[in-house]
Amino acid sequence: MPVAAKPLDSPALKRLARTWGASLVGVADVERLRGIETEPADLLSGFTRAVSLAVRLSDPVLDAIVDRPTPLYAQHYQKVNALLDELALRASLAIQAAGSRALPLPASQLLDAERLTSYLSHKAVAVAAGLGWQGKSLLVVTPQYGPRVRLVTVLTDHGLTPDAPLKNRCGSCAACAEACPAGAIRGASTDSHYASREEALFFERCRTKVLDEFAKLPHITGGICGVCVSACPFGKAAGRKKKR
Ligand code: B12
Ligand code: SF4
Ligand code: SF4
C-alpha cells in the first residue's frame, strides 16, 4: 500500500530547512507586519505567513573584526548570502509542492540605491517570527547567536503555525554603541521595533562609514562593516554560554 505523504506543517518545514543548512527558522503571522514599508506596496497581499530563515556566521571570521571589515568577512558575506538564497528557493519549492504559493525574496538585493531599501525588511520578519529582538544596533539579536546571523524571507499562504515574538534583552548593554567606529548608534531601546532607522542610529554616519569609507578598502565589497555584529555579547561565544 502506498504510504501517504506527510503534510508540510511548521515542524516539518523547520526540520527540512535545518537539514539544508538553516541555523534558525521561524514563522511570522503577516498580520504582525501590517504597516511595514514594502516594494511594491502590495507585496504582502495574498500572503498570510512569512518564513524567516537565518544562517549563522563563522565565529573566527567575526571575532577578527575590531574596527573595520576584513577581506575574509567580505568573502564569507557573499557565501552566506548565496546559501540563504538557496534556502529560500528550496523552502519555496517544498511549499509549492505541498500545493501553496511561496515567494522567495533575495537575501541582499538593493532596489533603491538612494533610500537604501529592498523588497521588505528581513529584520522586521525575523522579529515577528520570534527569531530575535531588534537590538540597539538596529540588528536582529538572537538568543543563540546574537546578531551573528544573516536573514532571508519566504512569503506564503501555506497554513503554517506562527511563532511568538521574543522580549528585548539588550538591557543596559551598550557594547555596540561603544564599538561603532562612526559613533552612529544612539543607544535607544525598543520593546518591539524602531519606528524609523533614525530612532536607533545617526543613519548618515553609518551610511558614510560603510558605503563611502569601508567600501574603498582593498578586497571589501558589498557595503559591509561588521563591527556592531562582532561586538555584541550575545554573539560572542563566551557570552553566549552565559546568557542562553
Ligand atoms: C540596504 C541595507 C543596508 C544599508 C542600509 C541599512 C539600514 N539600516 O537600512 C547599509 C549599506 C547602510 C547597511 C548596513 C548594514 N547592514 Co544591511 N541591509 C540592507 C538591506 C539589503 C535592505 C534594508 C532595508 O530595506 N532597510 C529599509 C529600512 C526602512 O528597514 P529596517 O531598518 O529593517 O526596518 C524599518 C522598518 O521596517 C520599520 N519596522 C521594523 N519592524 C517593523 C514592524 C512593523 C509592524 C512596522 C510597521 C515597521 C517596522 O522600522 C525600521 C526603521 O524604519 C537588508 C536586507 C533586507 N532586505 O532586509 C540588509 C540587512 C539589514 N543588513 C544586514 C547587516 C548585517 C548590515 C551591516 C552590519 C553590514 C554588514 N553586513 O556588516 C550594517 C548594519 C547597519 C545597521 N546598524 O543597521 C543584515 C542584518 C542581519 C541582522 N542580524 O539583523 C540584513 C538583514 C541582510 C541579511 N540578509 O541578513 N545595510
Ligand atoms: S555597521 Fe558599522 S558604522 Fe554602521 S552602526 Fe554598525 S558598527 Fe557603526
Ligand atoms: S551589543 Fe548590547 S546593546 Fe547592542 S544589540 Fe547587542 S545586546 Fe543590544
State pTM to two decimals. 0.96
Q: Which of 180, 229, 230 to mutate to test the pocket of ligand 2 (most atoms within 8 A of CB)?
A: 180
- For the segment 99-136, what is each residue's pLDDT rounded down to a tens digit? 999 999 999 999 999 999 999 999 999 999 999 999 99
- Identify whether 117 is part of a domain: yes
Among 78-82, 148-152, 218-222, name the one with the lowest average pLDDT.
218-222
Q: Ligand 1 in contact with 122 (CB < 6 A)?
A: yes
The domain of 159 spans 10-243
Does residue 241 register a pLDDT over 70?
no
pLDDT of residue 222: 84
- Identify whether 17 is part of a domain: yes
- Identify whether 5 is part of a domain: no
Specify the number of domains making up the chain.
Answer: 1
Residue appearing with cell numbers 567606529: 181
Q: Which amino acid is at 51?
A: V
pLDDT of residue 101: 98
- Identify whether 151 is part of a domain: yes
Q: 13 to each of 91, 124, 192, 202, how far by Cα in Å?
A: 7, 21, 26, 39
Q: At 25, is the secondary structure helix, strand, or coil?
A: strand
Helix (H) or strand (E) holding 149: strand 149-156
- Identify whether 189 is part of a domain: yes
- Identify whether 105 is part of a domain: yes
pLDDT of residue 4: 57
Rounded Cα–Cα distance for residues 126 and 94 (Å): 20
Query: CA dihedral in degrees (85, 118, 63, 238; nearest 10)?
Result: -90
